[in-house]
Amino acid sequence: MPRRRFLRGIVFMGYVKGESPGQSSLFPPSLDELVPEDHPVRVIEAFVGALDLGELGFERAEAGVMGRPAYDPADLLKLYLYGYLNRVRSSRRLERECRRNVEVMWLLGKLAPDFKTIADFRRRNSQAFVQVCRAFVRFCAKAQLLGGELVAIDGSKFEAASSKRAVVTRRALAEESRRLEARIAQYLKSLDESDREEREEPINRQAVAAAIDELRARKADTDTAAQLLEELGDTQHVSGEPQARLMRTAHGKAVAYNVQSAVDAKHGLIVHHEVTNAGTDNAQLEPTAKAAQEALGGGPLSIVADAGYSNGTQFEACEQASLTPFVPLNRAPLHAGGAYFGTARFRYDASSDAYRCPAGKILALKQVNRGAMCRIYAARAEDCAACPIKSGCTGAKQRYIQRHWHEAAFERMQKRLALAPEMMSRRRSLAEHPFAQIKYDVMGDRGRMLLRNLRGARTEMALAVLARNLKRVIAILGTRNLVERLAAG
């Protein structure tokens, strides 16, 4: 009988009591009864069950006939998918989950691999994880979850496992070399002075010579490192993670990777992603758009991206591959000066490859600048000297106009954007949200990588993108529906 307490007429009935740990039960509940019918672990089970792991490139996809049995890659893959769906990425934490988490026990049949086995599996199957991520995109296409008409491309910086302290730059090495040089000079000067002067406390010449030798050795190392960087054509090196780069990120400069993603507009699913170490997005439009096109079946596709992707060469390459890009231009207006006529006042004639100015005079091709990828046109000095509107055109002897090699592609882009001004708001709503979900809902820790170098970062990102897409499809279809579709193949 629970002890009752009375307070001003209110009766307290005590607390809700759980079972004693030693309580035995006539029919103990099975693990299956403890995991609800619509729990996401059932999606993981159905998805992995439908995969051909050998075809995707997993090691030991076939059970061995000799020696100690290994863990089935399907079980370890399920464990990692569970981990990335629940912000548990480290192999040690996954090992703990195997021993205490009923959902993981259900998923793995109470198997409890040690952390080293778990970590080795992720390390050795990097490319296979990327293939699993693609297999889910193929399932989404088959399930008609992808529109295949418009794709938003965006890039985001993900911090690498290495910290900024591991970065060596050419500039820092040059500064260090100068600093060491100055210290060596200081020591030599003190030796000279001690030779000339009679000091009360003579300096320890042996100790000074040893210090100079050490500084010279350090300077030689610094100079060798600088020379090596120069020979490799690199401006920086991250010690222990040479493929990572110091980049500008949303949180200041950090050692990071630049992850590119292509998001299909129908349901916001990521159809392609790639981890790069490029500091900017400027060269990423064409490869990302073409890979997204391939993932969506190879048909014509509209692509929307921000001004960081503005690149005339890549605009043309996209157009030639039936990709229609919508990208704001990121270039300085080509005019002679703030107060002078802009290039829009000059008409280009492709047949004669020349411009006609507001006064009706011809600006002919004068020079080709391969470095800046442009052609330079000039009016005749005598035309400009006699021109009544010269003061509004140029302060120089004659007017020059620069034309980018891909100017026509820039002009077509400008027209496209003017006809579809809504594209930029669509880009924002489509492309930015998935990265926030990956960083905060899937990976945690702002998406900082645990594994090193491009191979490690690609493994982690494949798992993170797959987990994010799984979450999205569960939200769209519901767990039971998704499990049924996965089981139907």
Q: At 268, give phi and psi (nearest 5°).
A: 70, 30
Least distance to ligand SF4 from the beta carbon of 390, Å? 4
387 binds ligand SF4 (CB under 6 A): yes
261 binds ligand SF4 (CB under 6 A): no
Among 261, 276, 394, 479, binds ligand SF4 (CB under 6 A): 394
Least distance to ligand SF4 from the beta carbon of 338, Å? 16
Tell me, rounded to whole angstroms, the distance of Cα 97 from its chain centroid. Answer: 29
Least distance to ligand SF4 from the beta carbon of 344, Å? 14
Question: Count of residues binding ligand SF4 (CB under 6 A)?
Answer: 13
Burial label for 70, CB within 10 Å (0-12, 13-18, 19+), is: middle
378 binds ligand SF4 (CB under 6 A): no
Least distance to ligand SF4 from the beta carbon of 407, Å? 18
Least distance to ligand SF4 from the beta carbon of 340, Å? 9
Residue showing tokens 């079946």: 297
Instruction: Return the residues of window 355-374 that contact ligand SF4 according to CB under 6 A.
Output: 357-359, 361
3-state secondary structure of 6: strand
Interface stretch with ligand SF4, choices 12-20, 30-38, 300-308, 390-398 (CB under 6 A):
390-398
Closer residue to ligand SF4 (CB): 393 or 438: 393
Half-sphere exposure of 2 (CA within 13 A, CB side): 10
Closer residue to ligand SF4 (CB): 361 or 416: 361
Among 383, 407, 432, 441, binds ligand SF4 (CB under 6 A): 383
Residue 56's contacts (CB-CB under 8 Å, 6 or more residues apart) are: 128, 131, 132, 135
Closer residue to ligand SF4 (CB): 403 or 406: 403
Among 42, 219, 390, 406, binds ligand SF4 (CB under 6 A): 390
334 binds ligand SF4 (CB under 6 A): no
399 binds ligand SF4 (CB under 6 A): yes
Least distance to ligand SF4 from the beta carbon of 398, Å? 6
Cβ atoms 279, 257 nearer than 8 A: no
Least distance to ligand SF4 from the beta carbon of 360, Å? 8
Instruction: Return the residues of window 115-154 that contact ligand SF4 according to CB under 6 A.
Output: none
Interface stretch with ligand SF4, choices 113-121, 174-182, 191-199, 378-386 (CB under 6 A):
378-386
What single DSSP character describes residue 354?
E
The structure tokens listed for 461 are: 């990102």
Closer residue to ligand SF4 (CB): 331 or 347: 347
Least distance to ligand SF4 from the beta carbon of 401, Å? 9
Say which amino acid occupies 133. Answer: C
- Between the CA of residue 266 and those of 141, 149, 309, 332, 426, what are the distances in Å? 11, 8, 23, 35, 11
Residue spans of alpha helices (H) in 160-204:
170-196
Compute the distance between CA of residue 162 and CA of residue 322 in angstroms, rounded to an integer: 40
Interface stretch with ligand SF4, choices 19-27, 128-136, 393-401, 429-437 (CB under 6 A):
393-401
Residue showing tokens 């992720």: 122
DSSP for 251-295?
TEEEEEEEEEEEEETTT--EEEEEEE--SSSTT-HHHHHHHHHHH
393 binds ligand SF4 (CB under 6 A): yes
Least distance to ligand SF4 from the beta carbon of 353, Å? 17
Residue showing tokens 């992808």: 146
What single DSSP character describes residue 109?
T
Cβ atoms 325, 318 nearer than 8 A: yes
Among 384, 454, 457, 461, binds ligand SF4 (CB under 6 A): 384
Instruction: Return the residues of window 211-230 that contact ligand SF4 according to CB under 6 A.
Output: none
Say which amino acid occupies 225. Answer: A
Interface stretch with ligand SF4, choices 73-81, 305-313, 352-360, 364-372 (CB under 6 A):
352-360
Among 389, 436, 475, 487, binds ligand SF4 (CB under 6 A): 389
Closer residue to ligand SF4 (CB): 265 or 378: 378
Cβ atoms 137, 295 nearer than 8 A: yes
Interface stretch with ligand SF4, choices 60-68, 104-112, 387-395, 451-459 (CB under 6 A):
387-395
Compute the distance between CA of residue 465 and CA of residue 270 in angstroms, rounded to an integer: 7
- Between the CA of residue 325 and those of 151, 317, 320, 329, 415, what are the distances in Å? 10, 10, 11, 11, 12
Least distance to ligand SF4 from the beta carbon of 396, Å? 9
Cβ atoms 104, 97 nearer than 8 A: yes
156 binds ligand SF4 (CB under 6 A): no
Compute the distance between CA of residue 418 and CA of residue 294 in angstroms, rounded to an integer: 28
Interface contacts to ligand SF4, rule CB under 6 A? 357-359, 361, 379, 383-384, 387, 389-390, 393-394, 399
